[in-house]
Amino acid sequence: MKPDSMTHQKVMLYPLWVRIWHWCNAVIFILLLASGISLHFADPSSPLIPFAVARVIHNLSGLCLTLGFVLYVVNNGRSGNFRHYWPVFRGLVGRIMKQSDYYARGIFLGLPHPIAPTWEQKFNPLQQLTYLAIMYLLVPLVIVTGFMLWVPEWAPGQVLGMDGLWPAAVLHYLLAVALGIFFITHLYLITVGETMTSQIKKMLTGWEEISIHKENDHERR
């Protein structure tokens, strides 16, 4: 892309519904992780959250996560926000390498972000693939297995000679670990914007400065 054909402009990349959903999800994630850890590692002598309380928190938060997920999927499709999640496969590997190199090396050298957000693709390729996997694979699976644990009658009767709930429980646990790892790295990556607070400001206000073609400028207004 020739630089003289590009211009920078502040656009609304995170509409209100995305921001509300995002911050609700942040609270739900914290509640689910804390209560889930308390339930899985339940210990009467040193409970993080007492089992009876953790059960209620986990179930209610799980319901909120499900409701939020359904609204998110519907709105994502209707508003066109899904375009940010679907990768442009052409040159994808190269962009992944470029972004990985930035996190492994460039960021320490103070180099600029290698892939700037655009109107079509606001996420960098690593973000994009991670969010796609989280929101369209891991979260639905954690919801389904969570409901099986909540209503054990929905789980198969027996699997490999043991109670049919165990594969659901193991998968739910592994998904929770993966989502926990995502949550920790996601929190850290808030700090890797242009400034320490630019990412969080973006997610509060919804505005982001993007590079756009001069000839398409009118479409973003």
Judged by beta carbon, residue 64 or residue 174, the one nearer another protein is: 174
**Could you tell me the two tokens for 59?**
């179930």
Report if residue 43 touches another protein, rule: CB under 8 A: yes
Window contacting another protein (CB under 8 A); options: 9-17, 83-91, 113-121, 176-184:
176-184
Residues 102-121 that bind another protein (CB under 8 A): 103, 107-110
- The whole-angstrom separation of Cα 203 and Cα 68 is 17
The interface region with another protein, picked from 36-44, 67-75, 82-90, 127-135 by CB under 8 A, is 36-44
Collapsing DSSP to helix, strand or coil, 12 comes out as strand
Please tell me whether residue 193 binds another protein under the rule CB under 8 A. Answer: no
Residues 6 or more apart whose Cβ sits within 8 Å of residue 22: 14, 203
Q: Do 215 and 4 meet the contact criterion of CB atoms below 8 Å apart?
A: no
Cβ of residue 204: shortest distance to another protein, in angstroms?
A: 22
Beta strands in 112-218 (DSSP E): 158-159, 162-163, 207-213
- Of 211, 153, 178, give the one whose Cα is nearest residue 29: 178
**Residues within the interface to another protein (CB under 8 A):** 39-44, 47, 50-52, 55, 103, 107-110, 149, 152, 161-163, 165-166, 169-170, 173-174, 176-178, 180-181, 184-185, 187-188, 191-192
